[in-house]
A and B are shown apart, each in its own frame.
Chain A
Amino acid sequence: MENEVQAEVPGEGESNKTVPDVVSSSPIDGVKEDTFEKDDEDENEVKSHGEGEDFTEDAEALKQELETIVVVPPEPEVPKQPVEVFDPAEFPSSYKDNLPKELMVLQYADNFRRQYVHLYRDRKPLLLNPVNECGIEKFVCTTIRPSQLPFKELYNWEGAAEFVADYLNFETLEPAFELPTRLLSPATVLKRQKGNCFEFSTLLCSLLIGAGYDAYVVNGYATRETCLADESREICPLLRKKEEQKEEKKQKVTKKYTVKPPKDLKSKFEQKMDARRLAEQKAEEDKRRAEEEQKLAELEKPPPDPLHGLRIHAWVLVLSGKREVPESFFIEPFTGLSHSTGSESYLGIESVWNHNNYWVCMQDCSDGVAKLSYDLGDCTMWEFMFPGVDKNQLLIPEAEDDLDNLDDDEDKEEEEVHLDLPPSWVDPLKLSQKDFEMRCPQGKKTKLYKRAKLEKFAHYLLDDGLISRLSVFDDQELTDLQVVKEYYEHRSDKLNMRVHNHRTGWITEHFHPGRSKNVKEHCYRASAPAPENDRTMHFYDEARVDGLLKRIETPLSMTEHYKNRDDFLFYKHVDFGKRTKKFGPQDEVVTSNPRPIVKMIQRFERNPKKPANADISELIFLMNEDKIQLTYHTVNAHIASSTREFIKPQNWDEKGAMLAWSPDMHATFQVDPNADLSKQVELYENLLQLLKMEESCREGVRESEEEVKEIINDRQKEEQASELDISVYDTERNEKAKKHRRELERQQMEEKMRKQEMEIDYLAPFLAQMEDPEKIGRADACKLKEDCLADLKQRLIDKANLIQFRFEKETQELQKKQAWYQQNQVSMSKDDEEEYLNYCSEAMFRIHILELRLNRHKEMAPHKYMALEQKLRTDPRLAEYL
């Protein structure tokens, strides 16, 4: 509609100004005077122009132009979409009626509104008593129902806000610049999982107040992005970098005897010139970057909003003080995020309320909300509705005077009547564990952020345990995928997070501790997940026996880092050669054709128990050249380290062969020229030891390769059948426990049934026939007994007869069949004959059973009869007479 008006008055500033006013007047709120006023103004304007028509031609032209303008009177708002209708039967009476006290509050509010409108003609109407589900007017404060739900996550405001934002789907206000006419109760909102900003805020407020926060619903104005919950210009909270820790530069403390640095022989002038040039370059670069950033920022700026400053919104204000909140802040109910009270998203505040009182903002909001004060007791800033219900009132004694102005003579009476608000009419808020765990409607929610998309899933909703997926894009249109981060929970393979970088093609998987190989992080190329490719694995080294921290692989090398090992090994690097192609039948040897090892490097940390000159620091096995190179640790006083090189004897790889030794098989450099040369025997033994180390190192490498393969296999299997862990305490999901419980319940039920059966009173039908079952005389007792016994007798006979009858029937049928068989025996096919035989044997079996039953019945009947008689004799009700 607004567009319509605009289209009719192109280029007319004044009309433009009036448009919002015209539009804003709503027929519902009875601010018709407003519209009339405006119309009057328009007339005046036209008149004033009319007076000037004699003087200028311009004025004439203007007049003509103005005459073309047709001011369309605002049409009464017709709800564009059918309003959801609720069945009043679903709701308790508090929804359908108003108690006297509530009525009084409503009247009071109405009075307040009248005066407010009277005093502040140019201000927008207040949201005081919208209708509820059943079309009954309810005061907004009573719509807040402070409640505490039994979930610990909801005890803190972060959790509660996130829950409300996740759990509900939001609806926008229609139109965006008008207050809603209906406000549903939080209980209903919770049920239908959607609501507008007011319903969001009321629900959140109910939870926060229930959790002890000093929270208020705020009615005000916000930017379009906030009203529409459009976060596509915000950086995703998950992506926001944590404040980078400033690197503490270790200031070198100049001690008394710290040596002076060597003299600097560089030219100071040149340095200065260099520095200046660098600074210039940097400045230029900074400037360029700043410009670029500005350009980008402008590009990203949302298009201007024609309704800026008019969009009505509701959010939550949490004041400092309670629950150790140090500073007041806003919570945006749509996103669940907190904003400072100076946030630019919010443009103005009309009123705030909680379950106790209602305050109207009397401060100037033309500069946004940044400068507002939230001392609700200060009535120059906040006009309250109910006196004396809030402790804030006590702060300022003068409040009484203002009250007089406002409420006139009724003051005293009102104060007594409305000392407190009636209790909330809303049903208690209920939320099942299951619904709470589902979080979002249908357990899924997708949010768009600046260059990012966040999908949330409820726990256990997806089979692979995915709970959220964050996709980061390189452009605004979300087409150029950069990184995908997937978060998992409850997975039995302990997968925690998977990051797939689409730029580099690397996938990084993070795991919780507790996997069989203690993998912490696994990083590999998506295109080459097989073993012997580029990959990095991090491990939980404290959980591993070998202290492995990290293993980095490329197709031709493998590097391992260790920590806290008894043998002081901390680094191991292996270079592989190309696999030698084997010709001939290859199928069997494929598995036993490892990559040949070209070089192995091991590095050790200093072992304080050995002298530095005998403590190996680096050990290199050159497999191709049959050489072993050693570097020892550096002695404290020296700067160079001793080295030694062995050439392996010819027959070193023959098993059981005696290794020959000749002095030219080794070369040694000792740092200390005065040190004694090692003896040949020692060197020889050293060599033997090194050969052993080489062997074990090689075995270690092969084991590592195997382990990698195993891990990858495991991972593949796990990915194919992703299983979720279910806690033993989770009675809902733990199938086994559920089964067990059901079984128990069933058993209990059976037990109960049996007990009931046991307790069936066999005398009941007969007692019922009597006139007065309470008073039984002797004759009655005898009669009862007789009846009872007769009945049993009859039943026993009946039963015997029934069995007899069936027995005879079966026998007859069998005889018939036999006769038929006798007749047709000749012309029978083999199948028919078989069928007949089958039938015979079955029939015989049945007859036999019936016969048995009959016999047993005959045998048991007298016993049963006797038992009943005995029972009747001892029955407490009859005992005295029999």
Chain B
Amino acid sequence: MSRLYDTVEPSVVDEEMLQKAVEEQGPKDEAGKIAKREGINFSDVLSLRLDFKNILKIDNLWEFTALTKLQLDNNIIEKIEGLDSLVNLVWLDLSFNNIEVIEGLSNLKKLNDLTLYNNRISKIENIEALKQLHVFSIGNNEIKEYKDILYLRQFPMLKTLNIANNPVSREDKDGFKQYVAAFLPNVEFLDYRLLDQQTKAAAYEKFQTQVEEQIDKDNKARAAAEEHERKMAETQLHKEAYVEYLNTARLFEDMYADDPEGNKLNQIPGVDEMLLVFKEKLMTVCQQLFEFGLQEYDKRKAEVDMFWECVNEAKQENKEMGMEAINKFMKDKKRLFIEMVQMTDTKMVDNKLQEYNDQVSALWDKLMGLELQLVDQLEEIIKDFERNMQDLVSVFLESVQAYLTQARDLENIHNERMIESATSALEKAAKNELDEDVPEELKMLLVDKDTVMNAVTSSHDVHLLKIDNKEDDIVTRINNWLKNMIETIHVEQEIQRNRMRVTEITHLIDHLRDEADLLDLVQEDDGVV
């Protein structure tokens, strides 16, 4: 704000101010009266205007969670803050303030109209999250660089842009305009003027090379991002199959990662070939395990999908039966009520009432019966499912163990060979027949048999440990997954669902009985009259 705020007392966003604003801007007339009588919850307010209030700091707005439109223009706000909880915001006006940096907007994902007109912003930034942005106004600010325009290329929905009166455009107004038109082809209105096709075409012509370069760059970046995403998804899938990285040499590398002795021993001449063979064999086993794991994953997934499909079908069928019963009842009820209202004889009314109550009870019986039936049915299939899943998991685990045993065997064989090589190397060392280029650290090991053997054994132990760890990891994770899933099913499908349904039925029946009572009261009054 150009005003000097020394001279004005800044105000604070407090309860009183908000209450007043809400009441002023709330419903009018009769509705207003009702609203006042009843009180308005801040969490219900959809739009709020706090302009010309000399607000310095945005505060106390956390309660307005449903807010879609917020106007804070013509204040003296210096920092965008306190808006994190207003996730439903669509329209935000912060024009004519003293903001210097764009920040604190990353939670407002639904925002599609953002006005920062007349502030002191020198860089467009921190609004990557606002994918829905349609209208963006940043005129009368301190934007200095052309590359800020490029930043706006990431908003495909951006149709209206106001960026007039910034240092960046002051020198060459037309050139800047063309620049914007060329680099933001989706923008239709620039500085409140329509950008027609001709202008756009001319602009494109002018900056063709640069634009195309930019497009190329964007495409590459996008492709890289997609590739990354795809990889992540793949890894995620592998993780869910509990065989992540088994199609790479990760296990082998892990084996030697925490194995200084082994690495040293590997420098024994001739070992490198052995090592290659070992690595290859280990990789083959891992690859097999990996493929098996994916297969098993598919099986499990199919099983789970099938289970849910059936559960949903059963629920749907049950629901339809219940709804049918209710609809039938409602029809009868309508007829009965009409008859009752028209009757004058109290006795007959009583009879009818009795009939109605009987029907309500019958409905209750029917609905509860259906629910019980569903509970039984679900219980049964959940049991089946649980058993089958357990089987699947144990089959999977057995195979995993078998594969890892193979890996261990390989490691054992390798170890024996290592011992051999180490022994021969030791002998050579004793005879001083070792090559000159053997590294020092290996020479340190090749002093006596115990040292070498210790080194080999410890390396072997480390390797076995890694394999054991892998196995443990897989076993624990899959067991946890199964346990969690079964538990969730039990809790959600059996207990919670059942409770909810029973509550609903009871509630409905109570309501139906109440209705009859209400009607009855009226009836008796009539009778008296």
Q: Residues of A at under 8 Å CB distance from B? A: 255-260, 262, 634, 637-640, 658-661, 669, 671-673, 679-681, 684-685, 688
Chain B residues near A658 (CB-CB < 8 A): 29-30
Interface members, chain B 368-426 (any A CB < 8 Å): 373-374, 376-378, 380-381, 384-385
Min distance, Cβ B42 to any Cβ of chain A, angstroms: 13
Chain B residues near A637 (CB-CB < 8 A): 497, 500
Check B326 against A257 for contact (C-beta < 8 Å).
no
Min distance, Cβ B18 to any Cβ of chain A, angstroms: 18
Contact of A681 among B27, B378, B511 (CB under 8 A): B27
Min distance, Cβ A646 to any Cβ of chain B, angstroms: 14
Tell me which of B66-74, B219-227, B263-271, B502-510 binds A: B502-510
Interface members, chain B 288-329 (any A CB < 8 Å): 303, 306-307, 309-311, 313-314, 319, 322-323, 326
Min distance, Cβ A678 to any Cβ of chain B, angstroms: 11
Contact of B377 among A260, A640, A669 (CB under 8 A): A260
Residue on B with the closest CB to A640? B508
Min distance, Cβ B25 to any Cβ of chain A, angstroms: 13
Chain B residues near A258 (CB-CB < 8 A): 310, 313-314, 381
- Additional A-B contact list (19), CB under 8 Å, known A257-B384, A679-B44: A256-B310, A257-B310, A257-B385, A258-B381, A259-B314, A259-B380, A262-B377, A639-B322, A639-B326, A639-B501, A658-B30, A660-B30, A671-B508, A672-B504, A673-B503, A679-B35, A681-B31, A681-B40, A685-B31
Min distance, Cβ B343 to any Cβ of chain A, angstroms: 17
> How far apart sit A450 and B34, CA to CA, in the bound complex (Å)?
77
| B171 CB within 8 Å of chain A | no
Check A659 against B30 for contact (C-beta < 8 Å).
yes
Q: Which of A257, A634, A685 has the most CB of B within 10 A?
A: A257
6 A-B interface contacts by CB (under 8 A): A259-B310, A640-B508, A660-B30, A661-B30, A671-B507, A681-B38
Min distance, Cβ B389 to any Cβ of chain A, angstroms: 11
Check B34 against A257 for contact (C-beta < 8 Å).
no
> How far apart sit A256 and B311, CA to CA, in the bound complex (Å)?
11
Min distance, Cβ B316 to any Cβ of chain A, angstroms: 9
Chain B residues near A259 (CB-CB < 8 A): 310, 313-314, 374, 377-378, 380-381
Min distance, Cβ B414 to any Cβ of chain A, angstroms: 45
Contact of A679 among B38, B307, B309, B381 (CB under 8 A): B38
> How far apart sit A679 and B511, CA to CA, in the bound complex (Å)?
20
| Top 5 A-B residue pairs of the complex, sorted by shortest distance between their CB atoms | A257-B310, A259-B377, A639-B322, A259-B314, A673-B507
Min distance, Cβ A176 to any Cβ of chain B, angstroms: 68
| B455 CB within 8 Å of chain A | no
Contact of B373 among A262, A660, A671, A681 (CB under 8 A): A262
Min distance, Cβ B376 to any Cβ of chain A, angstroms: 8
Contact of B38 among A255, A262, A680 (CB under 8 A): A680
Min distance, Cβ A632 to any Cβ of chain B, angstroms: 13
Residue on B with the closest CB to A254? B310
> How far apart sit A661 and B35, CA to CA, in the bound complex (Å)?
11
Check A256 against B306 for contact (C-beta < 8 Å).
yes
| B367 CB within 8 Å of chain A | yes
Chain A residues near B322 (CB-CB < 8 A): 639
> How far apart sit A262 and B314, CA to CA, in the bound complex (Å)?
12
Check A639 against B323 for contact (C-beta < 8 Å).
yes
Check B326 against A661 for contact (C-beta < 8 Å).
no
Check A257 against B307 for contact (C-beta < 8 Å).
yes
Check B313 against A685 for contact (C-beta < 8 Å).
no
> How far apart sit A720 and B27, CA to CA, in the bound complex (Å)?
59
Chain B residues near A255 (CB-CB < 8 A): 306, 309-310
Chain B residues near A659 (CB-CB < 8 A): 30
With A259-B380, A639-B322 known as contacts, the answer to whether A684 contacts B501 (CB < 8 A) is: no
Min distance, Cβ A656 to any Cβ of chain B, angstroms: 12
Query: How many residue pairs, one in A and one in B, have C-beta atoms under 8 Å apart?
Result: 84
Chain B contact surface mostly? helix
Min distance, Cβ B85 to any Cβ of chain A, angstroms: 20
Interface members, chain B 1-43 (any A CB < 8 Å): 27, 29-31, 34-35, 37-38, 40-41
> How far apart sit A659 and B373, CA to CA, in the bound complex (Å)?
50
Min distance, Cβ B396 to any Cβ of chain A, angstroms: 18
Chain B residues near A681 (CB-CB < 8 A): 27, 31, 34-35, 38, 40
Residue on A with the closest CB to B369? A262
Chain A residues near B373 (CB-CB < 8 A): 262
Min distance, Cβ A655 to any Cβ of chain B, angstroms: 15
Residue on A with the closest CB to B511? A669
Check A684 against B381 for contact (C-beta < 8 Å).
no
Check B504 against A639 for contact (C-beta < 8 Å).
yes
With A259-B378, A259-B381, A639-B326 known as contacts, the answer to whether A684 contacts B31 (CB < 8 A) is: yes
Min distance, Cβ B331 to any Cβ of chain A, angstroms: 13
Chain A residues near B503 (CB-CB < 8 A): 673
Q: Which of A256, A637, A679, A688 has the most CB of B within 10 A?
A: A256
Chain A residues near B44 (CB-CB < 8 A): 679
Chain B residues near A262 (CB-CB < 8 A): 373, 376-377
Min distance, Cβ A253 to any Cβ of chain B, angstroms: 10
Residue on B with the closest CB to A668? B511
Chain A residues near B378 (CB-CB < 8 A): 259
Contact of B504 among A256, A660, A671 (CB under 8 A): A671
Interface members, chain B 477-518 (any A CB < 8 Å): 497, 500-501, 503-505, 507-508, 511
Min distance, Cβ A54 to any Cβ of chain B, angstroms: 98
With A255-B306, A684-B30, A684-B31 known as contacts, the answer to whether A634 contacts B323 (CB < 8 A) is: yes
> How far apart sit A634 and B367, CA to CA, in the bound complex (Å)?
16
Interface members, chain B 37-77 (any A CB < 8 Å): 37-38, 40-41, 44
Chain B residues near A260 (CB-CB < 8 A): 377, 380
> How far apart sit A637 and B313, CA to CA, in the bound complex (Å)?
13
Residue on A with the closest CB to B26? A681
> How far apart sit A257 and B380, CA to CA, in the bound complex (Å)?
9
> How far apart sit A637 and B504, CA to CA, in the bound complex (Å)?
10
> How far apart sit A637 and B314, CA to CA, in the bound complex (Å)?
13
Check A639 against B34 for contact (C-beta < 8 Å).
no
> How far apart sit A669 and B330, CA to CA, in the bound complex (Å)?
14
Chain A residues near B310 (CB-CB < 8 A): 255-259
Min distance, Cβ A534 to any Cβ of chain B, angstroms: 25
Min distance, Cβ A580 to any Cβ of chain B, angstroms: 22
Chain B residues near A684 (CB-CB < 8 A): 30-31, 34
Min distance, Cβ A622 to any Cβ of chain B, angstroms: 12
Chain B residues near A688 (CB-CB < 8 A): 31
Check A640 against B306 for contact (C-beta < 8 Å).
no
> How far apart sit A685 and B27, CA to CA, in the bound complex (Å)?
9
Q: Which of B27, B326, B508 has the most CB of A within 10 A?
A: B508
Min distance, Cβ B298 to any Cβ of chain A, angstroms: 15
> How far apart sit A658 and B504, CA to CA, in the bound complex (Å)?
38
> How far apart sit A672 and B30, CA to CA, in the bound complex (Å)?
29
Chain B residues near A661 (CB-CB < 8 A): 30-31, 34
Min distance, Cβ B328 to any Cβ of chain A, angstroms: 13
Check A680 against B34 for contact (C-beta < 8 Å).
yes
Chain A residues near B367 (CB-CB < 8 A): 639
> How far apart sit A258 and B312, CA to CA, in the bound complex (Å)?
10
Chain A residues near B35 (CB-CB < 8 A): 679-681
> How far apart sit A638 and B508, CA to CA, in the bound complex (Å)?
11
Min distance, Cβ B277 to any Cβ of chain A, angstroms: 45
> How far apart sit A260 and B376, CA to CA, in the bound complex (Å)?
9
> How far apart sit A784 and B66, CA to CA, in the bound complex (Å)?
115
> How far apart sit A669 and B326, CA to CA, in the bound complex (Å)?
14
Contact of A640 among B385, B497, B504 (CB under 8 A): B504
Chain B residues near A639 (CB-CB < 8 A): 319, 322-323, 326, 367, 501, 504-505
Residue on B with the closest CB to A649? B30
> How far apart sit A232 and B17, CA to CA, in the bound complex (Å)?
95
> How far apart sit A638 and B323, CA to CA, in the bound complex (Å)?
9
Residue on A with the closest CB to B497? A637
Residue on B with the closest CB to A683? B34
Min distance, Cβ A116 to any Cβ of chain B, angstroms: 77
> How far apart sit A485 and B337, CA to CA, in the bound complex (Å)?
48
> How far apart sit A341 and B303, CA to CA, in the bound complex (Å)?
57
Chain B residues near A680 (CB-CB < 8 A): 34-35, 37-38
